[in-house]
Amino acid sequence: MAGTTPSPLRGLIFDVDGTLAETEELHRRAFNESFARWGLDWHWSREHYRRLLATTGGKERIAAHVRDHAPETALSADGIARLHGEKTAIYDRIVGEGTLALRPGIAALLAEARRHGLRLAIATTTSRPNVETLSRAIWGRPASEIFDVIASGDEVLHKKPDPEIYRLALARLELPAGAVIAFEDSRNGLLSATGAGIATVVAPGPYTRDQDFGEAALVVEEFTACLPLERLSARLGKALPATATRPGFDNQGDRPWP
């Protein structure tokens, strides 16, 4: 980017699972509990779940398990959807127990972005109820009060690594790809974001550490390395708008920012 005029930075787009919060262990617990309730003798170990994570979307993951490891199981698409519904309810309960926290640096990134008047979006392959569960657990508010735009898995035909979900988030933000930065934790997410033309920062998690992040604009240990936002945007060839609002308040008025 050296020698070129920085393009204005207008928004940030976040993945949910593994990026906003380390949720995969809770998802794995919920899957296993739902299998037990259904009398299925499946147990997804960490190692098995790591491999299944190559398939994005919960229903798709169950289908992949049936196809590759339990082909004798008679489970229709409708049965998978109901099993997944039960898993989602269990996940809801587990997260409600209050074990979930934002990954380091995320809260500060969101607050800094608001201070600079940036728009915030979610692009996730998880379902909308899971996004709401996480938002209620962490902020005690619906996700739409934290993020301007939410694009979730059930709204697209093709999940990550397909770029469809990021394109949907960009369309709703009414921003071009060059005006945003994406934050991800996995190769599938990275490919989805870069496939939509978005510069992407990756902070891998325990399940994604050994993946290839060659297409990333930046790979960091934790998102704390993205602070301050001025430095990150300069590094990615983007210009932050001047601070537009008082610290601690969002850009929509006087609503205090958590």
**Which tokens in the block code for residue 195?**
């496939």
Site for Mg ion in 185-244 (CB under 5 A): 185-186, 189
92 is catalytic: no
Provide the minimum distance between the beta carbon of 239 and Mg ion in the complex, in angstroms, as a whole number: 28
d(CA 50, CA 54): 8
Q: How far is the CB of 251 from Mg ion (least distance, A)?
A: 27
Choices 11-19, 28-36, 58-66, 105-113; region in contact with Mg ion by CB under 5 A: 11-19
Among 9, 10, 12, 17, binds Mg ion (CB under 5 A): 17
Minimal distance, residue 66 CB to Mg ion, in Å: 23
By CB under 5 A, is residue 24 in contact with Mg ion?
A: no
In the complex, minimum distance from the CB of residue 124 to Mg ion, in angstroms, rounded to a whole number: 8
Integer Cα distance of 30 and 32 in angstroms: 5
Question: Least distance to Mg ion from the beta carbon of 186, Å?
Answer: 5
Stretch that binds Mg ion, among 2-10, 16-24, 54-62, 158-166 (CB under 5 A): 16-24
**Residue 169 class from Cβ within 10 Å (0-12 exposed, 13-18 middle, 19+ buried)?**
buried
Q: How many residues does the chain have?
A: 258
- Determine whether 17 is an active site residue: yes
**How much of the chain is helix, strand and coil, in % rounded to 5?**
45, 10, 45
Q: Quick check: 250 binds Mg ion (CB under 5 A)?
A: no
18 makes contact with Mg ion (CB under 5 A): yes
Selected catalytic residue, list 15, 162, 185, 250: 15
CB nearest Mg ion: which residue? 18
210, 232 Cβ separation under 8 angstroms: no
Q: Which of 137, 138, 169, 140 is CA-nearest to residue 152? A: 169
Q: Does 57 bind Mg ion (CB under 5 A)?
A: no
Estimate the crossing angle of helix 24-37 against helix 77-96, to 10 degrees.
Answer: 120
Query: What per-residue string of b and e applies to 203-233 under the rule 16 or more CB within 10 Å gives b?
Result: bbbebbeebebeebbbebeebeebeebeebb
Asked if 112 is part of the footprint of Mg ion (rule: CB under 5 A), the reply reads: no
The residues annotated with a catalytic role in the active site are 15, 17
What residue ranges bind Mg ion (CB under 5 A)?
A: 15, 17-18, 185-186, 189
